A and B are shown apart, each in its own frame.
Chain A
Amino acid sequence: MRGSVERRQHRAGWAFVTPALVLIGVFFFVPVLAGLFLSFTDFDIYAIGRPETVRFVGLANYARALSNSLFWQALGNTLFFVLVGGPLSVVTSLVAALLVSSKLTRFQGLFRSIFFMPVVTTLVAVAIVWRYLYQPQYGLLNWLLGAVGIGPVDWLGDARWAMPAIILMTVWKNFGYNMLIFVAGLQSIPEELNEAAELDGAGGWARFVHVTLPSLGPTFLFVGVMTMLGNFQLFAEPYVMTQGGPLKATTTVVMLMYDEGFRWWRMGMGAAIAFVLFVIMLLGTMLQLRLQRERRT
């Protein structure tokens, strides 16, 4: 009797899970495995015309990607974006979250909505507007800089400034999302902790460092990992604003992958670059998890 109930529950459980598993299998695992297989071949434009010309090349695509100076440049640009843009984005989000959660702030909901608005705006539209802002001669940004006596900066045309300009735009566009997560994290901190700390004589700063920040640990981990994963996949912003230039200063790994795969139709090489990026992102995530664990112990 009991066994049959268990079996029925078991079956029901599988029935519930199966559709999701099938979908994940068909639309995720199969393509990923096919991509992995592709990365060991030289599938290219000739092979689309005549599949019999595909050759198995083993690790040659990986070797060639890693010996390509453009790959390292793209990786450098991507890491710059991840290491500078990521923390900047997280800090901005945290500050914004503290501001909109502060007891002194009025119209909290309104500010949250306003800060969140760039997140739901179409990226291409945002990028085009920012391109106007960055326009060296007539752009608003240079006009403001000119007002305080700073000479014009060719934001998107100068190899030194193009990536910082893109970082600035993406931070502005995306901080609202992480802000909401931080707001949720801040709300889950029990009020008693702050009150107890206050009774012990802790000032505002001390309470922030010793109560708020440690309580936000899990939130930080989530925000950090998600931001990093998103930043590693930077593509649309430079694609719209700079097409990877000037002097390849904004070419990212995903952009390189896109070029190899869909512009030059070297699908094998594109797939290999995708898997290299996957491994790098996996290592990055593991590093963050390790750091978080060490901090806790």
Chain B
Amino acid sequence: MDGGAATSAEERTRARRTKRVSARPGGHGPRRAAHASLRLVFLLPFFLTLAGCAGAGREARTTLRFWAMGREGEVVQELVRDFERENPDVRVVVQQIPWGAAHEKLLTAHVGGSTPDVAQLGNTWIPEFVALRAVEPLGPWLAGSRAVAESCYFAGIWDTNVVDGVPYGVPWYVDTRVLFYRRDLMARAGWDSVPGDWDAWLRSMEDVRRVAGKDRFAIFLPTNEYTPWIIFGLQAGSPLLRDRDSRGDFSGPGYRRAARFYMEVFRRGLAPNVAGANIANRYQEFERGTFSMYISGPWDVGEFGRRLSPAMEGAWGIAPLPGPDGPATGLSTAGGSSLVLFRASRHKAGAWRLVEYLSRPDVQLRFRSLCGNLPARVEAWRDTTMTRDPFARVFETQLRRAVPTPKVPEWENISLRLQDKVEAMVLGHVLPDSALAALDREVDRILEKRRWLLAHERRGGPGGTGTAP
């Protein structure tokens, strides 16, 4: 059966469904029931041929179930229609899931054996779904693909999809954190750009605070977010975890250097020691000059543009993050979403074709124009819409310095413990050194199972981190 016939069968199936629904309210009373059964007898041969037809259509046409989150789930519908035109034998059903419910829904779907064929996954979730053995190793698929190759992606971003040497996801869009800053106040303080190393950065903070006035700060580092504390650690060369990610390394020299730096920022009063909730409106406070610097991601470029008053246009900008020993050490996190196939899927070939389609540089650019997400493919960044965008250029620089956080399923839990400890340190409840030692003890407890699995893997017993085949 060709594609056109399949479509008409599809339409008929849909029509039948509507008929059944609309027939429902009429099913009351004996007379109506008799009437309905008479009609049923009449229509029976028609239904039978229809059922046969629909069956044949299903054979020829694969239906892919694709789960996408939030705004992405909304705009991807449009891209998927074009994919269907190019691949008449595949139909894609996109299910849009709100971000807040996505993680839980995916996990319950896995436990309940109802995962989709392909899905968008926050790339920090990948280790967890690998441990669950929910997602398909992509090695063979990549080997046979001409459309997707590791070299087409930012190295750090690609790396987030690789667990124990095996790739499990294809980057779809990317994000990373950069420094948002008040260009006007920095200029008045004598800095025409954000310096590249920590020492100069500290000096620029002192200067910009002086210019901003009384009761002002230089930078806002909310204590109820964990990403900055991870970034500073990565920049200072801390592996965060050690011994094949089975123990905490927060009391190691790398992280201690990072902690000394950000505690110095708080000690000098360059950052307010409060949670994000206490700065009621960070955009308003940024405009007011309460703080002149803030670490955030691409989503805030639009927010800053919308929420700051028109007079602020050009008065703020973004810059790559400074590093302890100059710009090259100004690392940041490798965020974004990837596309994954599920092990349980029966349509992996079709699903992989969809992944290849969504990874095409032209489709990536269309995706960017639809929802503003930064494309994962480096070819897309060479397009003039990207090279002419000054914000995009900063993100590109930063993405080349993006590195993944440890790829263990326990990482989010560990990040929250780190956040708690930093909050206690900032509020002066604990000294940094003892807080970091206590953090390592907690992290070691969380990773106990992982150590056991690694030990068994070595002895060849049941174990392994559930990742390497």
Contact = CB atoms under 8 A, between A and B. Distances in A.
Interface in B434-469: 445, 449-450, 452-453, 462-463, 465-466
A50 B462 contact: yes
B152 interface: no
Contacts of B420: 248
Contacts of A46: 131, 409, 449-450, 453, 465-466
Contact of A45 (B132, B277, B445, B463): B132
Given A42-B449, A44-B449, A136-B280, A53 B128 contact: no
A49 B462 contact: no
Nearest to A60: B448
A262 to B, nearest CB: 7
Given A45-B132, A157-B277, A53 B111 contact: no
Contacts of B409: 45-46, 265
B104 A52 contact: no
A136 B274 CA distance: 15
Q: Which of B452, B453, B466 has the most CB of A within 10 A?
A: B466
Contacts of B275: 157, 245-246
A48 B131 CA distance: 8
A23 interface: no
A46 B275 CA distance: 34
B37 interface: no
B117 interface: no
Given A245-B224, A247-B423, A264-B410, A48 B111 contact: yes
Interface residues of A, number: 23
Given A46-B453, A247-B423, A262-B104, A53 B278 contact: no
Contacts of B410: 264
Contacts of B110: 48
A49 B132 contact: yes
Given A136-B280, A264-B410, A49 B449 contact: no
A273 to B, nearest CB: 15
Given A245-B224, A246-B277, A53 B463 contact: yes
B449 A264 contact: no
B133 A264 contact: no
B413 interface: yes
B466 A49 contact: yes
B128 A45 contact: yes
A182 B439 CA distance: 51
A256 to B, nearest CB: 13
Q: Which of B275, B277, B410, B453 has the most CB of A within 10 A?
A: B277
A55 B410 CA distance: 18
A108 interface: no
A48 B132 contact: yes
Given A48-B111, A247-B423, A53 B132 contact: no
Interface string B267-311: 000000001011010000000000000000000000000000000
A264 B128 CA distance: 10
B278 A154 contact: yes
Contacts of B423: 247
B466 A50 contact: yes
A46 B128 CA distance: 9
Interface string B102-115: 00100100110000
Interface in A262-277: 262-265
B188 to A, nearest CB: 30
A113 interface: no
Contacts of A265: 107, 409
Contacts of A136: 280
A9 interface: no
A53 B413 CA distance: 21
Contacts of A18: none
A137 B104 contact: no
Contact of B133 (A49, A245, A246): A49
Nearest to B104: A262
Q: Which of B107, B131, B133, B462 has the most CB of A within 10 A?
A: B131
Contacts of A157: 275, 277-278
A222 B449 CA distance: 45
B462 A52 contact: yes
A129 to B, nearest CB: 19
Interface in B148-182: none
B102 to A, nearest CB: 14
A59 to B, nearest CB: 16
Contacts of B128: 45
Interface in B400-451: 409-410, 413, 420, 423, 445, 449-450
A44 B445 CA distance: 14
Contacts of B413: 263-264
A53 B453 contact: yes
Contacts of B466: 46, 49-50, 53
Contacts of B463: 53
A69 B215 CA distance: 37
Given A245-B224, A264-B413, A49 B131 contact: yes
Q: Which of A50, A245, A262 has the most CB of B within 10 A?
A: A50
Interface in B186-229: 224
Nearest to A246: B275
Nearest to B110: A48
Contacts of A42: 449
Q: Which of A45, A157, A263 has the most CB of B within 10 A?
A: A45
Nearest to B467: A49
A46 B467 CA distance: 10
A53 B278 CA distance: 44
Contacts of B224: 245
Interface string A33-58: 00000000010111011101101000
A42 B452 CA distance: 12
A136 B280 CA distance: 9
Interface in B116-135: 128, 131-134
13 contacts: A45-B128, A48-B111, A49-B133, A50-B466, A55-B452, A137-B280, A157-B275, A157-B278, A245-B224, A248-B420, A263-B413, A264-B410, A265-B107
Given A45-B131, A247-B423, A264-B413, 6 more contacts: A45-B409, A49-B132, A55-B452, A136-B280, A246-B275, A248-B420
Interface of B: 104, 107, 110-111, 128, 131-134, 224, 275, 277-278, 280, 409-410, 413, 420, 423, 445, 449-450, 452-453, 462-463, 465-466
Closest 3 CB pairs of A and B: A49-B133, A52-B462, A49-B132
Interface of A: 42, 44-46, 48-50, 52-53, 55, 64, 136-137, 154, 157, 245-248, 262-265
